[in-house]
Structures are given as structure tokens and as C-alpha cells.
A and B are shown apart, each in its own frame.
Chain A
Amino acid sequence: MKKLIIEARINEYEMRDQNPNVPWTAREIAEDAKECRAAGASIVHFHARKLDGTPELSAAAYGEIIAQIKDSSDILVHPTLGSLKKDLPLAERLKPMLDLGAVPETRPDILPLCLSSPNWDFFDSNSKTFVSAEKIYMNPTEDLIGSVREIAKAGIDLSCVCWEIGATRRVAAFLHAGILRGPVYLPFHLTSGGMLAGHPGTQDGLDAHLAFLPQGEPIEWAVLNLHGSMLPLAERIIRDGGHIQIGIGDHHYAELGAPTNADLVSRIAEIAKRLGRDIASPDEAREMLGRC
């Protein structure tokens, strides 16, 4: 079976109250990335943070983090497009990353696009109220098409994030139209813990995505579970030929005693070893994911 890509999703916008190991500074992020690489991760996904953990949105901060990661490791670098700036048009979210891509030292290896426009709400089942109920994560299809072309032109790989079945159908249409060329890196974005926009982080939630994976298309699928544990799904994904995205940015894993990102990557690597699936190095991951 093909090798397993493990992507470490190390911080998102998580604070440290439930897991103190969330990296915030450039040095912490680069150190975390290096440890994740040693544990078996071939890709690191991160968000820039200020010293107090609040979102850092400047391109310079991203450039510094990318340079520090690349200094200490060969892990593939996958920054966010700045998901807190969801009210900005996609092209404006993308541009700073493309600018960083023009310089080898700060060049992202992979950039993410979400192939739909989900409501970005959280449901608190205790108080029975919605939080951030006014937010829509706007990704109009024409902006997606333009961004795919820009990212391809920059020679950067693409992650086509699918929250819903329609997003997977959109990827298939992009392939059909020649807008995307395979292989396509396609994470299924499951959502748990009050985030309702995706499929739930359960076997059923994953099955309902996999049933619509286009057959015969050059797609490398992966799974993440925002605000829920990946561990109940890991064995199934590894057996079925998918890839795994895991980290304390998505879920605190307090039920495991608040591990580090590298601890989680090690756990996945152990499961893969037990199931006889080898782990991809960054070079091998690059080859598998190709260019968009």
C-alpha cells in the first residue's frame, strides 16, 4: 500500500487552557514542526499567533515562521490563508502567501482552499445558543477557480478542503474542466464539538464522504476532525488508503492527558506500523501530491 502522509495541525487559534503545549511564537512553531517531523509528520499546518496567543495576521510574521521551520527541518510547510479574515475576498487572503512564495526562504509548499462557503458557527449544546452565528466563510466558486490558477502558476501545491459532499463534486468538476490537474490532495473536513458545518467526526460522517469520492481520479484523500479526536477513525483511514491530519490545534486531546503534537503524530505512526503501512517522508509526500 502507498505510504501514509501524516499532517500535523499544530495550533490553529487554540489557547492553552486545555492543552498548554499549543505553540504560538515562531520559535515554538518551528521547534514543534521539527519534533513532529521526527515523529513521522511530512506536512505541518499552522497559524501565526501573537505573544498572547491572539491571531497574528501580518505576512511578515508568516514569512519569519516559514523561514524558521525550513531552517530546522525538511517538513512541508502548509500555512493557513488567515482564516480569521474570512470577510476578506479570497484573492486578498491568498495574495500575501503568493508573495511569500516568490522567495525560496519563505515559500509555502502547500496552500489550502475550502471548496464551499460554510456558515462558521458553533452551537453550545449546554446553553443551547449559537456563537459567531453571523459568520459565513465565503469562498465563491469563481474566486476558487481564480485562486487555483494563481496557486498553480506559483508552482505551489494545493489542499482542496471538503466540508460537504458538494465540495467533493466541485473538485471532480474542476478536474473534469481541466482547472485542476491531479494528483489532488483532498482532506475531508469533519467537524465535532459544536461545530456543525461539516460531517460529524464519526465513522458515519467519514463513510458519507467516502461514498462520493470520484473513482478513477488522481486524488489523495485525507481526514481531519475539527474539535474532535482523530484516534477512533485512524485505523479505518490507514487501512483504506487515506492520509491523516492530526494535532492539538484541532482538538486538545485532554482525554489523553494533553499530549504534544509530536505525541499525537507518534501515535498515528505506531498504528500505521502495526497495520503495515509505511510513513511518507516529506519528499515522498511531495511526489504523491504532485502539483496542482
Chain B
Amino acid sequence: MMKKMILEARINEYAMRDENPHVPWTADEIAETAARCREAGASIVHFHARSPDGSPLHTVEAYAEIIRKIRSKCDVLVHPTLGWFSNDEDPGGRTACILALAKDPATKPDIAPIDTGTINLETYDRVSRTFSHGERVYKNRTDTLELYAREFGAAGIKPVLVCWSVGFIRRAAALIEMGLVAEPAYFLLNMTDGPYLTGHPGTPEGLEAHLRFLPSGHRIEWASNIAGGNLLNLADMSARRGGHVAPGIGDYAYRELGCPSNADVVRMAARTARSAGREIASPDDARELLGL
């Protein structure tokens, strides 16, 4: 029997509501969304704290409130952001919020991301043929990756190694070699579509070009993800290749499906997983698969 499949719900990122009105912003909305996603089959929820107007919010208090509210509603594993490009100017300070949350078991994140390299994160509009955010570089110096891996290891938080290119996978493998990331290592293979040029395209070929470089000789689990594209198209391939999926309306509005909620998207991914012969992992199953 194939191992169970982890569905990670990526519920809001920094998406606004113009394309899909179901993006949760407040702590109550995020907690409610997490509970609905849990019912639909998600075992992990990834979220970003947001201000009432949707702008990025990066305070310990905001994250603590969200995590408490999620946990009061369900047992889903909690995976907050480090703040992405909105919080990369002070490399040493990026993990401060996560480490503060980790001091109290009630607010300790189960999982936290390490993006294992640096990317240009512009957008390109093919209709107007114009670039936006051309100045934006999401910086992740290698020495800070070592630091984050050590900090998360000491705090007992499972890192997810977020990979935007082949070089990211090679660097993530080096962090495992160094003993900084425990096995099984959890990789998020992050493809990009729509306005984002940065990663591999969200196609079978784009995913294949990641899978070919996953390190052999280490125990790893991987999940696929697409910023700006329909991940349901890769759910079957991910299921059959022994991977996991991380869908959500934070990464893509799914307008072609009528702007569904996060729980709707998770449910669709779960259906595809089951038809490919994969049972859906509970949070406890996910803990075991990922070695939490």
C-alpha cells in the first residue's frame, strides 16, 4: 500500500480579495478556514498574518492569536511564514517571531519554512507586456539558512525546505549533509505560473525537473506547490510519484473553478489523491511521515 498523502493548505499568503473573496485575513477567519480545511483533509495549514486591510502583519502577538485560535478549533499542524519578502531585510531577525512563539507550547509552530536560496520575484503581465516589482529580490543568504536550520532544530520546529530551482534542492541537500536538517527532510517544490517567472513552470515537466534532483541516500518527503497556477493539475502526478500537495487560494485564485474556498480546493485534491490510490494523512499521520 502506498503511504498516506499529506495535504497542506496554503490559505492566504499575501493574496488580496479582488480575485477570490474567500482569502482569510483576520485571526478568526484564518482559524475558521483551518478548521474547514482540516475537515476536507488537510493535515497542515500554512498562513500569513494579515492586517484588517490585508497588508502584511508581522508581530508575535498576531501570530500567537492565530495559532491559539486554530488550535482551539482543530488539530491541524501549524505552519506560519517567516514573512517572505516583506521581512527579509534583517536576516538575523527573520526568525525572531517564530522563536518567540516556540517558547510557549500553546503557540509553538509545528513547521516553519526555509527558502534555500535567493530569487528575483518580479511579476510579468503578458497582456500589457510590462514588468512590476522589478526591484524585488527575496534574499536568503546561505549563512542565514544555516542559522535558521540550527535555530529551528534547537526549538524543535520541523523545517520545510522550500525550493524554487534545482540549485535550491542542491543547497537543501547540503544542509541535510551537514546534519542541520533531520531526516526525513520535508521539501516543498515551489513552481510558478501566471505572472511569476521565477520558478519552474507548474507543469509535469516543471515538477519532473525538480524530482530528478532530489537527493538519493536521504529519507525525504516532498510536496508540490504552484504560485500563480492550478496545482490540481499536478495532484494526480504528485500522488502517483509518492509526493504530497500543498494547494490553496493563497497561491492561486482558481477563478476557472469559480473562486472556490480553501476547503473546496483541499477537497478536490483529496478526491484526486484517493482516486490515485492514496489515503489522506491525518495530522498524526503527517507527524509520523515527517518525523515531528
Contact = CB atoms under 8 A, between A and B. Distances in A.
A169 B213 CA distance: 20
Given A140-B137, A196-B171, A212 B201 contact: yes
Interface in A87-142: 116-119, 121, 123, 125, 128-130, 133-136, 138-142
Interface string A195-218: 011111000110010011000000
B200 A165 contact: yes
Nearest to A178: B129
A51 interface: no
Contacts of B199: 165-166
A191 interface: yes
Interface in A138-173: 138-143, 145, 163-166, 169-170, 173
Given A119-B118, A119-B141, A128-B177, A197 B136 contact: no
A196 B212 contact: no
A117 B209 contact: no
A33 to B, nearest CB: 31
Nearest to A198: B167
Interface in B141-196: 141-143, 146, 164-167, 170-171, 174, 177-179, 192
A239 interface: no
Contacts of B164: 164, 166
Interface residues of B, number: 42
A177 interface: yes
Contacts of A16: none
Interface string A77-90: 00000000000000
A50 interface: no
A267 interface: no
Interface in B119-153: 119-120, 122, 124, 126, 129-131, 134-137, 139-143, 146
A197 B198 contact: no
Contact of B165 (A133, A142, A164, A204): A164
B176 to A, nearest CB: 10
B54 interface: no
Max chain B C-beta neighbours (<10 A), residue from A133, A165, A212: A165
A68 to B, nearest CB: 36
B206 interface: yes
A273 interface: no
B256 interface: no
A176 interface: yes
A165 B165 contact: yes
**In this complex, which of B131, B139, B197 has the most chain A Cβ atoms within 10 angstroms of its Cβ?**
B197
B213 A204 contact: yes
Contacts of B165: 116, 163-166
Contacts of A125: 174, 177
B122 A199 contact: no
A141 B122 CA distance: 7
B90 interface: no
Contact of B200 (A121, A141, A212): A212
A210 to B, nearest CB: 10
Given A165-B206, A208-B213, A121 B166 contact: no
Contacts of B18: none
B248 interface: no
B205 interface: yes
Given A166-B165, A176-B126, A199-B167, A134 B143 contact: yes
A116 B142 contact: no
Contact of A133 (B146, B170, B198): B146
Contacts of A116: 119-120, 165
A211 B209 contact: yes
Contacts of A128: 174, 177-179
17 contacts: A117-B118, A119-B140, A128-B174, A128-B178, A133-B143, A135-B141, A163-B167, A165-B200, A166-B120, A166-B192, A169-B198, A169-B201, A176-B129, A196-B171, A197-B167, A199-B213, A204-B212
Interface of A: 116-119, 121, 123, 125, 128-130, 133-136, 138-143, 145, 163-166, 169-170, 173, 176-178, 191, 196-200, 204-205, 208, 211-212
Interface of B: 117-120, 122, 124, 126, 129-131, 134-137, 139-143, 146, 164-167, 170-171, 174, 177-179, 192, 197-201, 205-206, 208-209, 212-213
Given A164-B167, A169-B197, 8 more contacts: A118-B167, A129-B178, A140-B135, A142-B122, A143-B134, A166-B200, A178-B129, A199-B167
